[in-house]
Structure 1
Amino acid sequence: MSSGKPKGIVVFSGGSAANNLVDVFKTVREDKKCQLSYVIPISDNGGSSSELIRVFGGPGIGDVRSRLVRLIPDDPDHDDSEKAAIKIFFNHRLPKNRATARQEWMQIVEASHSLWTNISTAKKELMRAILNSVNFEILKRMRPSSTFDFSGASIGNLFLTGARLFTGSFESAIYLLSSICSVPNHTSVLPAINTNFTHHISAGLSNGTIITGQNSISHPSETTALDSTPLTAHEDTERHDAIEDANLPGTLPTLRKQYINFSKADEDDLPARIERLWYINPYGQEIRLAANPAVLSALTSAQAIIYSIGSLYTSLIPSLILKGVGHAIENAAIRYKILILNSTIDRETGPSATPFSALDFVAAIAKACAESKGSPADVHKLEYSSYVTHVVHLTGPGTPAVDREALRGLGIETIKVYGRRGEGEGFVRYDEKGLVQALEVTMGRGIRGRRG
């Protein structure tokens, strides 16, 4: 017997790019009066997350933290200074200078920092307890060969790490941060894998090159602490084995380096297209991992799946290749499987000489879902619509090419949305109202939109 409860919406996304569309998804959820679930990958090993992983191990938590903080409700009719203060607190990053960063960290844990202004005593002391707990763990792990580097560290990431270590549960840590941030019960942030361990990814290019680690795939880093004389692979491994941290002896050196400094703006083309992505163990061997059961449960009760904007191979694919996901998405009961196409081509969807088209994005998603099922990666084009039914896209210079007739021939509908160009930006962004309308029309509500 049906309970009459509306089926939910599941959004696959990464962190920063999709954060810009949170209000869009919120509006669509309100119209549907249903549950909204964000599925976030945990393979990020760049920025301050790299130092937390090096010292504590555990999943890459930066994207989970940023989505939870982004979901702090805004109420324009009420002056809620505490919610604003909590958002600033958990988004705060320490200075880039190592000594200055450690000094500011101590001001925070001692409650003498101005960030605590407007946060109530009850929440402040709870938050301080977790931050002092992670500070104690940092001190316990201090060794002559290894000390924690606070440079550019995210306070929210430190808090979520402390909560995970204190409770022994990633899921509980997310619940605690969700509660402090007043994230509504109808919206969930689900890590793609519910784990206390670190899971890395590798990408294989069409020329046979293999790139190991998410940061190296997506945002090459300014390498830190390199000797002037290049080391052999054996010497590099031995050097890292002499450092006492959370990594097992013999772990691939590229997975043990600090990637605190990197740029999202200056990206070199990859030498060839990415053809496949997979998970690896610390020694570089391929492994197959199961999805978070909560993710599979959300998919089972979903009316719609949305693949959000973001990095195709490091924001979407790591969640899609997990065991159980492909079968769940293929479910015919899910009527709408909507790809919101990126407005630009990035490092992962180049090189610039052969940029990805909309069909290439769809093919990558379909192949990832097939791999999730243990099927061959070469999916027949006529199967693409089992995983993507609609493509929402922009038009203009630099946007991925959309062959509407080819997609229609595969049973995939296209919806063109007019965008806006931000001040000083050389690319088109989605207009929130236009995107809401496109999604509502696609899912059977709203006035008829402009379709390709």
Structure 2
Amino acid sequence: MNKKHHLVVFSGGSAANNLVDVFGKVADDKGCLSYIIPISDNGGSSSELIRVFGGPGIGDVRSRLVRLIPEDPSSPETTAIKTFFNHRLHASPTEARNEWLDIVESRHSLWQSITSEKRELIRSFLNTINLEIVKRARPSSVFNFQSASVGNLFLTGARLFTGSFESAIYLLGAITGVPSNVNVIPAINSNFSHHISAGLQDGTIITGQNAISHPSAPSSSSVIPSSSSPSSHPSTESSPETQQQRRKLSKELTDHDLVDDANLPGSLPTLRKQYITFQKTHTEDLASRIERIWYINPYGQEMRPSANPKVLETLRGAGCVVYSIGSLYTSILPCLVLKGVGEAVALEEGIKYKVLILNGSLDRETRAVGQDGESNEFGAKDFIAAIAKACHGSRGLGEVKEEEWKQYVTHVIHLQGEGTPRVEKEELSALGIETVRIYGRKHEGGEGGMVYDGTALGQALEAIMGRRDPRSDKTRRNTLNVS
């Protein structure tokens, strides 16, 4: 394997999907492209699969695999398969269940243009998950097909049949024709659920990825003061508000223990709930900045899982690491805090380039309301500090100093325009971190921020990796500004 051409990308799902073609061209046919994807998402249709079957959050993995299916306008089957695995069932639970039965029984129009041998192979795993759904049905717990992803159902069926999450990923990639030099690697290889919590600077703890990034409705079990925990007993020193919160949490625990699903008795209620419907935009700003994120067991206690061995293996063979666009604390950092990752990024001699592609806009995780009511927005230094802190913590080390940041980030690619994060070029340059400003366009739909131009981003990555002279690009569209 040519290390110089081995690109490793840390990313979540939907945001980074827009850059898949860019990363593919940069890696080209001389090397390997590996995506490291978190499995801590407990929102959307994944939340119902986790509730009933347990297992990892697979939505981002499925999303990346389907996005990697090669485009072939001359092949109706390729288009049909991509549409099939991207399909979501009806928003009505009753209609969704009927639609699911049509798919399982091979009566749905989605099967058109898919050859019989491939259709029956896919159906065998859909029948597996369907049988498991029927077996697990109880008066207190019935599977909700509302807005369920067919691809997620397939991956779960394949995981249950083979007993291996990675085998399920391999199977979906093989069926859909994902290129053999592209790897989609879950950050943790597990048949169990892994959840995260976030600690804010004001001491508040938010439990569960969905509650951190796009909460549907706050509850006492998802947002709690740091001085209290589910296992704590009321004391005379607790405030009336805290005691009331604990009583409500105790009732939620009791109520949920009456439900027969895949959750262990006593598990935090916020990790048991359905989060099928939620909004990703227009969520309220956090009351305080996120200080750090960590993994928790079902009872809310902190744990330090190890990274998937394949993650560490692919980092040992990498020449460039990219922290892609996406949610900083729920898409990127859940991969970096795992044991072994920080050490590999910092100490592997072959990784010469560690590139942060700065988001074109700010979101709930990187924009908070300060104590004075003013917005407390992240700049490039804040993004880098969060990455460095996560990697440093992964190594079991203490506070990371600014002069140590370049162990984890050597370059920042960014856009300039309304709504983009500020970039402290001179300060970063003094720390040995290069900044590269490239062309972008305004986000469509008036959502604010900027969107990367694929050609310019690809050229910037190639210039950083020494495979293109930035001075050779003369057009305004592809101008690189390196400092």
Whether these two folds match at TM > 0.5 is: yes
Residue matched to 1:292:
308
Residue matched to 2:456:
434
Give me the whole-angstrom Cα distance separating, in 1, the residues matched to 2:69 and 2:416: 32
Q: 1:437 touches 1:447 (CA, 8 Å); kept in 2?
A: no
Residue matched to 1:402:
423
Residue matched to 2:137:
142
In the alignment, is residue 213 of structure 1 matched against residue 244 of structure 2?
A: no
In the alignment, is residue 249 of structure 1 matched against residue 265 of structure 2?
A: yes
Give 2:121's match in structure 1, choosing from 112, 126, 132: 126
Matches within 5 A, 1:40-439: 40-75=37-72, 79-222=74-217, 232-331=248-347, 332-351=349-368, 353-376=375-398, 378-425=399-446, 426-439=448-461
Give me the whole-angstrom Cα distance separating, in 1, the residues matched to 2:39 and 2:182: 19
Give me the whole-angstrom Cα distance separating, in 1, the residues matched to 2:74 and 2:311: 35
**What residue identity is the alignment partner of 1:393?**
H
Give me the whole-angstrom Cα distance separating, in 2, the residues matched to 1:252 and 1:103: 32
Deviations 1:221-252 (A, max 9, x none): 1589x9xxx97111110100000000000000
Distance 1:134 1:4, change over 3 A: closer
Deviations 1:57-87 (A, max 9, x none): 0000000000000000114xx5011111011
**What residue identity is the alignment partner of 1:383?**
E
Give me the whole-angstrom Cα distance separating, in 1, the residues matched to 2:150 and 2:189: 22
Figure out how many residues of one structure are paired with residues of the other and give that number: 443
Structure 1 position 6, deviation (Å): 5.2
Distance 1:4 1:18, change over 3 A: closer
**What residue identity is the alignment partner of 1:315?**
S
**What residue identity is the alignment partner of 1:371?**
G
Q: Is the partner of 2:320 in helix, strand or coil?
A: strand
Deviations 1:390-429 (A, max 9, x none): 0000001111100100001111000001101244333310
**What residue identity is the alignment partner of 1:441?**
A
Residue matched to 1:15:
13
Q: 1:392 touches 1:417 (CA, 8 Å); kept in 2?
A: yes
Q: Is the partner of 1:351 in helix, strand or coil?
A: strand
**What residue identity is the alignment partner of 2:463?**
V
Give me the whole-angstrom Cα distance separating, in 1, the residues matched to 2:390 and 2:217: 30
Q: 2:317 touches 2:350 (CA, 8 Å); kept in 1?
A: no
**What residue identity is the alignment partner of 1:162?**
G
Distance 1:404 1:223, change over 3 A: closer
Residue matched to 2:238:
none
Distance 1:222 1:211, change over 3 A: closer
Which of 231-240 and 412-421 deviates more? 231-240
Give me the whole-angstrom Cα distance separating, in 2, the residues matched to 1:174 and 1:148: 23
**What residue identity is the alignment partner of 2:481?**
R
TM-score by length of 1: 0.96
**What residue identity is the alignment partner of 1:361?**
F
Structure 1 spans left out of the alignment, 5+ residues = none
Q: 2:90 touches 2:146 (CA, 8 Å); kept in 1?
A: yes
> Sequence identity, in percent?
61
Structure 1 position 266, deviation (Å): 2.1
Residue matched to 1:30:
28
Which of 424-433 and 165-174 deviates more? 424-433
**What residue identity is the alignment partner of 1:437?**
Q
Give me the whole-angstrom Cα distance separating, in 2, the residues matched to 1:443 and 1:101: 48
Give me the whole-angstrom Cα distance separating, in 1, the residues matched to 2:160 and 2:441: 44
Distance 1:177 1:56, change over 3 A: same
Give me the whole-angstrom Cα distance separating, in 1, the residues matched to 2:13 and 2:98: 28
Q: 1:223 touches 1:259 (CA, 8 Å); kept in 2?
A: no
Give me the whole-angstrom Cα distance separating, in 2, the residues matched to 1:343 and 1:276: 22
Q: Is the partner of 1:397 in helix, strand or coil?
A: coil
Structure 2 spans left out of the alignment, 5+ residues = 222-244, 370-374, 471-479
**What residue identity is the alignment partner of 1:404?**
K
Deviations 1:231-280 (A, max 9, x none): 71111101000000000000000100110110012210001000110000
Alignment RMSD (CA, Å): 1.6
Structure 1 position 19, deviation (Å): 0.1
Q: Is the partner of 1:270 in helix, strand or coil?
A: coil
Distance 1:109 1:222, change over 3 A: farther
Give me the whole-angstrom Cα distance separating, in 2, the residues matched to 1:257 and 1:4: 46
Q: Is the partner of 1:103 in helix, strand or coil?
A: helix
Give me the whole-angstrom Cα distance separating, in 2, the residues matched to 1:52 and 1:72: 24
Deviations 1:141-199 (A, max 9, x none): 00011000000100000000000000000010000001011001100000000000000
Deviations 1:298-338 (A, max 9, x none): 00010000000000000000000000000100023310000
Q: 2:5 touches 2:28 (CA, 8 Å); kept in 1?
A: no
Q: Is the partner of 1:414 in helix, strand or coil?
A: strand
